[in-house]
Amino acid sequence: MSYKYEIIMFACLKWGYSAADLAGVSRLKYTPSVKIIKVRCTGRVDVQHILYAIKSGADGVMIVGWRPNECQFKNGNFTAQRHVDLANRILDSRGFGNQRINMYWLSGAEAEKLVKSVEDAYEKINRLGPNPIKLTDIKTEKKQAIITPVEWFLQINSSCKMTTYVKERCLKIN
């Protein structure tokens, strides 16, 4: 039996989620292990949300938003790209690999492109292997060495509505 990778997708409400909805209505198939979190704008997805998803056991994170220079919030997709780059640098420095988090830009009418994006993210994660936090055979000290810097960075504000929602969705992974 092959390992089933868990992916959290932060999808722009207007475009990314619309593409996912269209994929479902069109009966296009993609891995069911993708859990979608709708966000008003991908620029609102902070590094702490991305890292919390990884810390909670997600093998990878996708951020799906509107194409460059066409975001209704002007620069939300560029802000999201900066957050993805920073989170990847943090994870790479801890031995997670630098392709666990991916940004994809598309429109709400591009359901096929969304399916290809999911497949692409799944392939990248498959090359990296499972999230090291989920591996039971690594020693507790090494696991703590991986988690501690991520927790240090997180410092999650528990009153944030989005952070609370991300926590709830990520709890369903374990």
| 115-160 pLDDT, tens digit each | 899 999 999 998 988 888 776 555 555 555 555 555 555 544 444 5
**Residue 155 to residues 131, 149, 160, 170, Cα–Cα distance (Å):** 21, 11, 12, 17
Task: Say which amino acid occupies 93.
Answer: S
The confidence score (pLDDT) of residue 145 equals: 56
What is the reported pLDDT for 63?
93
Domains identified in the chain and CATH numbers:
7-165 (3.40.50)
Gyration radius (Cα) of the chain, Å: 15
Q: Check residue 39 and give its pLDDT.
A: 87
Cα separation, 73 vs 35, in Å, equals 24
> Which segments in the chain show pLDDT lower than 70?
1-2, 71, 135-174
So what's the pLDDT on residue 2? 67
pLDDT value at position 151? 57
DSSP code for 34: E
Strand partners for 9: 36, 62
> In sequence order, which residues have a C-beta less than 8 Å from that of residue 73 and are 6 or more positions away?
41, 43
Question: What is the value of pTM for the model shown?
Answer: 0.77
